A and B are shown apart, each in its own frame.
Chain A
Amino acid sequence: MFRYKKKICVIIIYTLFFIPVVLYAQIISSKELLSRQEFFDGKEITYEGEIIGEMMCRKGGCWLNVKDRDLAIGVWVPSEIKFIPKYTGSYKYQGDEIRVKGRFNRSCKEHLGETDIHAEEITLIKEGKVIPQRLIRYKLNLAIIIWGILCLILILMRLKKI
């Protein structure tokens, strides 16, 4: 009986120590984080995604909004972590893709109930790029034709032909 108890204790201790490590090792998606937020709350996780919008720096750190395939989550980057993104996602830029290791908070006490990740380590996995702005020829032609017709109508209206 004592042997079994010892085995159970060993399993529990291993589970307690290794679950956070396992979570740290595997990448959790935003959808999974939010759908199982009670489970992940306060745990160390790894999250990957594209930085969108812009980096907003305040007292004690900066906010980054990081989006994976589904949703975006706020990542709090404390001042101790020196990370400045080169590109942040917008119409003209594909933002840097980063891997964030940190603590997930379902309702962060430090940030008045926000759902966020407090980064402990940030790794750049793919640098963003400029999305080339091109003028689509058929759209330009259509716009010119339409405004040409409009000018014609306005002239005819002025001449009281229609």
Chain B
Amino acid sequence: MFIKPVTKDIKLILHYLGRIIVGVGFFTFLPVLVAVLFKEPEPLCDFLFTSGICFILGFILIRLFRIEKEMGWMHGMLVVCLGWLTAMFLGALPLYLSRHYASYLDSCFEAMSGLATTGLTLVLDLDHLSFTHNFFRHLLMFMGGQGIVIVAISFLIRGYSGAFKMYVGEAREERILPSVISTARFIWLVSFVYLVLGAGILSIIGICEGMKPPLAIFNGLCIFMAGFDTGGFSPYSQNISYYHSFLFEFITLIIMILGAINFKLHYCLWSGNRKEIMKNIELITFVFSSALIFIIVLLGLTQKRGLYPGLLGYFRKGFYHLLSAHTGTGFSTLDSSQLNRWPTLAILGLILAMGLGGSSCSTTGGIKVLRIGIIFKTLVEDIKKILLPESSIVVEKFHHIKELILEDKQIRSSLLITICYILLYLGGTLVAVGLGYPFLEALFESTSASANVGLSLGITQVGMPAILKITYILQMWIGRLEFMSIFTLLGFLVAMIKGK
């Protein structure tokens, strides 16, 4: 039986939604500074207009709908769910106004791809897009990677008890520090320190590789935001191959890995607990799965004789794309038509890497290696139970920041989410195959969208059917929020109709 939501519930949701929209407003105002810096008057108007709309809408919602009850799990999940959709619609506004998108749907696709840190793009003539709009595309990734709610919690929802419920709704179950607000601030601190370091190093490499300093800094900043937040956008249509630099690619590789690591692990490293690296189940699973899938990719690539020159050539193309897929970034040094020419085994390796994803409580998407580690441990436990005498008690442990005993609750939740992801990957594949696309390409693209990766075999382009664009938008949204808040939204809608 469902309990019909009352007006107080809706008021509470709309109030918090208003706060999130104000947060989005601040983010849409930041590109105004870039527009002033690069002297771009038209983009300046686009962002003034959008940020103004966000502030007006946000303030009206905050003022009109007052909080009359305590926030529950349902409210938290719904605020997150609707917050992401609203951010997409608002974030798409300046993109559409740039006239570099064929339709508003395309700009919504781009905004969701940015926010969900996917990296699939439908932009037209990216190489002539303004610096301001280009910066905003990457900023969307930074905002979405940190989490829209983290933005709001950090600056606008001070002291509210509901913060944790929204934090969980955004697919982050683990608190790094005792309170959610201090956790959110720590995430910001980590991100900013890495931002300064990463963007600085990329800028210096850019200058050494022949770029002019202002452009090198701009590119360093954009590529860092897209890399650390495992997004995969780039200021140029060639993505990372624009830079023609092995060193640049190597640094982006490190940034991608840093982005795919659990923020809790970052905290351990920052607080001097370096032994955690050797014991952490997530990191161990990530290293093992990367090695295993790299063998698959390598075996696939060697099926085509002389595809790349020497071992370094295979590393540069094979390993780079494998880690780009596994971390959920989507940076590429190949055009989609070139990637499409990879042998099927190598493509399957990439699909597997994309599907697994990086760490939980990071900016990656996909099933997440923690869940894979838990499922593997469960398998080991079950095999032990069969091999040992019936009277023996098997207790399986794993290390994730601290020693933990494998419990049924964790196993159930890991399996449930894994099944949901597999169904999501297959759902998108079914739609694309139904529209006439080949199975392998459809599976690749669907996994890429659902696991928020951004690598493409060429299906994602302006001319693809609108129904497929909507499917991928939904997949990116559902994949980023990891199902629970979406299920809550569906339950809420049912309760509105059938509830008593």
Contact = CB atoms under 8 A, between A and B. Distances in A.
Contact of B42 (A55, A111, A133, A154): A133
B41 A107 contact: no
Main secondary structure on chain B at its contact with chain A? helix
Nearest to B133: A91
Contacts of B45: 135-136, 139-140, 142-143
Contacts of B48: 143, 146-147
Contacts, number: 129
Interface residues of A, number: 47
B308 interface: yes
A113 B210 contact: no
A57 B210 contact: yes
Nearest to A153: B59
B316 A91 contact: no
Nearest to A64: B244
Given A37-B341, A58-B210, A147-B52, 20 more contacts: A34-B335, A53-B127, A63-B244, A65-B236, A89-B127, A91-B40, A91-B129, A112-B313, A112-B316, A113-B308, A113-B312, A115-B338, A135-B41, A135-B42, A135-B45, A142-B45, A143-B45, A146-B52, A147-B48, A154-B59
Interface string B196-221: 00000000000001111001000000
Interface in B90-132: 97, 127-131
B49 A52 contact: no
Interface of A: 31, 34-35, 37, 52-58, 62-63, 65, 67, 71-72, 74, 89-91, 107-109, 111-116, 131, 133-136, 139-140, 142-143, 146-147, 149-150, 153-154, 157, 162
A35 B236 contact: no
Contacts of A54: 211-212, 215
Given A56-B211, A72-B236, A153-B60, A134 B127 contact: no
Main secondary structure on chain A at its contact with chain B? mixed
B295 interface: no
A113 B127 contact: no
A143 B49 CA distance: 4
Nearest to B210: A56
Interface in B24-39: 39
B309 A114 contact: no
Nearest to B236: A53
Given A57-B210, A63-B210, A114-B244, A136 B55 contact: no
